[in-house]
């Protein structure tokens, strides 16, 4: 093992070390971009009343909004990058029991009050190259 | 670079052509065989790029032009044999191989020293990965999110370039001893 390390070190010039360190630094600097995009894909929740967009909520900001529909008030809460329905009229409370959503393609639907909350985008796989 | 041409030293010229053909054959075989192995990391298409050792060798012993030509021919013929010719992946591989060869030729000529073969190899591998990202962006998916693969591509390039570079130094050193 020590033999191997010695051989490898003999193979590397100081310029090589410089390249290695440079690439590592470059990767570290660009990693924040990566984290940003992971959130960016699910950054918005679109709230619709009767199919018309009434709110576009940023999931990056904790907030509560109220939508007034035909059956009453639907209260939507955004917290920690997720969204849920806090209160909504209706006997079955289906949209409230769905809990939190955060992934693109997920949706909450409060049928009695004609309110839908949708996180746009899809999470499909792209292509394979070799 | 090469001190001989077809007219000044026909034997050396012929030997160089034969060596080129043999290296190309070797490069294609390595390229295709490598594609058969399951990926070492869970990223589609990620591989070591062992055939770049052959390209590096051609650059050093036959000249930069030969090395670049070998890289192009290897990508086209290799994709042909692997059955992926005309697929998006083959185009990415060709573009990556070409730009990578140009970067390797440049760094061999201008940046060595201070760089050694390992550093050159790392630069080549990263050029290969980044080119694929850029080409994929312009030709297939115009999603800015694609560039967020950059850190992965840098790290993967670093690892594969390091490994192929070390193998190359070892091989060339052995070869130098054998040839005396």
Instruction: Give the predicted TM-score (pTM) of the model.
Output: 0.69
Q: How large is the ipTM?
A: 0.81
Size of interface A-B (CB pairs under 8 A): 100
d(CA B29, CA B35): 10
Structure confidence at residue B95 (pLDDT): 92
Predicted local distance difference test score (pLDDT) of residue A37: 59
Total domains present in chain B: 1
Q: Note whether residue B60 is domain-resident.
A: yes
Distance from CA of B96 to the nearest CA of A (A): 11
The interface residues of chain A toward chain B in range 54-113, judged by CB-CB distance below 8 A, are: none
Is residue B164 pLDDT above 80, yes or no?
yes
Q: Quick check: is B3 in a domain?
A: no
Flag whether residue A5 sits within 8 Å of chain B, measured between CB atoms: no
A101 pLDDT band, cuts 50/70/90, is confident
Instruction: Evaluate whether residue B160 is within a structural domain.
Output: yes
Q: What is the CATH number of the domain that holds B147?
A: 1.10.1760.20
Q: Which residues pair with A118 in a beta bridge?
A: A46, A107
User: Among A30-34, A103-107, B93-97, B143-147, which is the least confidently predicted range?
Assistant: B143-147
Looking at residue A129, what DSSP letter applies?
A: -
Which H or E run contains B1? none
**Position B42 in a domain:** yes
Judge whether B4 lies within some domain. Answer: no
Helix ranges restricted to H, chain A: 2-11, 14-40, 94-97
Mutate to test the interface with A, among B92, B158, B160 (most CBs of A within 10 A): B158
Task: Identify the domain containing residue B112 by its residue range.
Answer: 10-179
Q: Which of B145, B142, B143 is nearest to A33 (CA)?
A: B145
Interface probe with B: pick from A9, A14, A20, A23, most Cβ of B within 10 Å: A23
Chain B neighbors of A128, CB-CB under 8 A: 44-45, 89
A-chain CB neighbours of B148 within 8 Å are: 33-34, 36-38
Neighbours of B67 (CB within 10 A): 25
Indicate the pLDDT class of residue B37, thresholds 50, 70 and 90. Answer: confident
Torsion on CA atoms B118, B153, B102, B22, rounded to nearest 10:
70
Mean pLDDT, chain B, whole residue set: 86
**E-only strand ranges, B31-131:** none
Task: Return the closest-CA partner of residue A101 out of A126, A120, A129, A124.
Answer: A120
Answer whether A19 sits within 8 Å of B122, measured CB to CB. Answer: yes
| Farthest CA pair distance, chain A | 78
CA of B14 to nearest chain A CA: how many angstroms apart? 33
Of the candidates B44, B115, B141, the beta carbon closest to that of A128 is on B44
Q: What is the pLDDT of residue B41?
A: 67
Query: Which of B81, B99, B2 lies closest to B34, judged by CA?
Result: B81
Residue B1 maps to a domain: no
pLDDT of residue A5: 82
- Is the distance from CB of A103 to CB of A29 less than 8 angstroms? no
- Closest CB to A19 among B35, B119, B141: B119
Least Cα separation, residue B64 to chain A (angstroms):
21
Residue A54, min C-alpha distance to chain B (Å):
27
């Amino acid at each position: 093992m020590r033999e191997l390390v010695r051989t490898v070190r003999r193979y590397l010039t100081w310029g090589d070390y410089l390249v290695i360190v440079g690439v590592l630094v470059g990767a570290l600097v660009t990693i924040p971009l990566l984290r940003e995009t992971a959130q960016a894909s699910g950054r918005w929740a679109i709230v619709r009343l009767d199919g018309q967009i009434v709110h576009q909520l940023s999931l990056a900001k904790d907030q509560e909004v109220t939508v007034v529909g035909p059956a009453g008030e639907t209260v939507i809460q955004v917290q920690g990058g997720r969204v849920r329905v806090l209160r909504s009229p209706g006997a079955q409370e289906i949209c409230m029991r769905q809990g939190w959503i955060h992934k693109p393609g997920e949706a909450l639907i409060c049928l009695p009050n004609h309110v839908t909350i949708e996180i746009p985008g899809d999470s499909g796989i792209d292509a394979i190259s070799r | 670079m090469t001190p001989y041409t077809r007219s000044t030293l026909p034997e050396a010229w012929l030997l160089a052509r034969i060596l080129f053909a043999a290296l190309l054959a070797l490069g294609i075989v390595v390229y295709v065989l490598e594609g058969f192995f399951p990926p070492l990391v869970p990223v589609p298409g990620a591989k070591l790029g062992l055939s770049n050792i052959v390209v590096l060798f051609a650059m050093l012993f036959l000249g930069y032009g030969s090395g670049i030509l070998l890289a192009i021919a290897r990508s086209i013929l290799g994709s042909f044999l692997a059955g992926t010719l005309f697929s998006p992946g083959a185009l990415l591989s060709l573009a990556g191989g070409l730009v990578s060869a140009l970067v390797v030729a440049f760094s061999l000529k201008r940046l060595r020293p201070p760089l050694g073969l390992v550093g050159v190899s790392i630069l080549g591998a990263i050029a290969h990965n980044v080119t694929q990202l850029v080409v994929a962006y312009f030709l297939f998916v115009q999603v800015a999110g694609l560039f967020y693969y950059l850190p992965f591509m840098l790290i993967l390039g670093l690892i594969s370039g390091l490994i192929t570079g070390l193998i190359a130094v070892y091989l060339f050193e052995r070869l130098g001893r054998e040839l005396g």
